[in-house]
Structure 1
Amino acid sequence: MSAVVQDGRVLRCRISTGRHGALDGPAMQEITEALTKLADQDPAGPDGVGAVLVHGDGENFCTGGNVRDFAGAQDRYAYVHEVADIFHAMQRPLVNSPVPTVAAVRGWAAGAGMSVALACDLAVGGSSTRMRPAYPGIGFSPDGGMSWTLPRLVGAARARRILLTDEVLDAEALSGLGLLASLVDDDGVDDEAAALAHRLAQGPTAALGRIRGLLGRTWESTLDEQLEAEADSIATCAGGPEGTEGLTAFAEKRRPQFH
């Protein structure tokens, strides 16, 4: 079964398999290819993608890589490095996606699963959702960009505490830290995440992509550079079809129909 399915304007990506939610190696390569293609798509086209939904197919979102395979590798350095490279090839286009990304975090997001959840724009969780770095538990340091995304999301001091103590974050803590955009009943996680992804996918795709770009560069930009980028971006939006529809709808006192 394919790990990538387009559902209307939403690209559904299954990153894990099985009851425990092990990271799916073949799926990663399929997802990488699909996410990479988004950079060249026409978001306004009939087959355009307006949002990405990342999910698992078991009780847990994703509990990371196969530790038994790590332990059984003849050359552990070479094997783990190769797995990390494949994982990172998927994480790059996920973080740099031109459209919003949503994670349906049911159950555990541990190790690489936590890295994937942190890489998405918005995560939906349930009362039993848990996140844990998990890497220190097997004597590893993190991969998947966790050491890059986590401090940007929660601050450097909290990131140190979470990573160095291998802290388990429950749903309440995740919500308080802003790592969950919404918290629903466990049975409603998948439906809520899908509804959010479809809602975003019907929005102004180009504008949302520019918002993602502006947010992504803010840590490396000066205020003047950011203001210049914002001026160029908002003017580009105003001169494009989405801005035209938005302004026309405002004048006509109706909801805009971007797609």
Structure 2
Amino acid sequence: MGVQPELDKVFKALADPTRRYLLDQLREDNGQTLGELCRRLEMARQSVTQHLAVLEEANLVSTVRRGREKLHYLNPMPLQDMQERWVDRFERPRLRVLNAVKCRAEEAMNEKPSFVYVTYIESTPERVWEALTDPEITARYWAHRNESDWRPGSSWAHVRADDSGVSDVVGEVVEADPPRRLVTTWSDPAGPEGQVPSQVVFDIQPFQGSVRLTVTHTDLADEKAHRDVSGGWAVVLSNLKSLLETGKPLSVDLRHKP
């Protein structure tokens, strides 16, 4: 997948003021339906759909289905790539990504996911699935071993890789469709009795010879939990991407990340 054609798509998408306005609207209120965006623009659905298709082709917008609705999310990764290439050349761009690239989902509607993160990895779906479920691989980039037989209904645990045997997250495997989709519940084993678990969905899709990985984290307890997972997922998934593409993870301490 060549760099220049992908950048051409980004520049083409950003050249139109309507598409820039759409991105602004998603920045202010992420996770909008087509109908919501049409009302903001006072434009026909067909025209907005065409603009969104250009933004999706440039990877500036990603979508997640919830029932019959399709929600649209701003994906800042291509813009960050441009910043790394021309602005941050003499800084530490990968570490800046960890803090800068956060795809927040404002919960204006109850159906909206609490947090959505999309990344593109030069790998295969099978390899990404293995990296999410193999305890030895997860220990390399996550500082935790994800342990389970990964069958629906089975338990799973996020166990520290320091030989302490401590699990920072426990839960249940809700859905497992290798190498396409994994759904798990997440609970803090030291949390209060009766806590409602959150849910994490990993969607793994082939994309132009690479993989599009979408992580959706829902049912978060409060705003603090939202902030924690927003930063945590950015670190974890950037580390995963580095491991699969270069053979080594980033030099980031992940012992206290999700």
Give the shorter-chain TM-score range.
under 0.3
User: RCO higher in 1 or 2 (8 Å CA, sep ≥ 6)?
Assistant: 1
Q: TM-score, structure 1 length as denominator?
A: 0.27
Q: TM-score, structure 2 length as denominator?
A: 0.27
Structure with higher helix content: 1
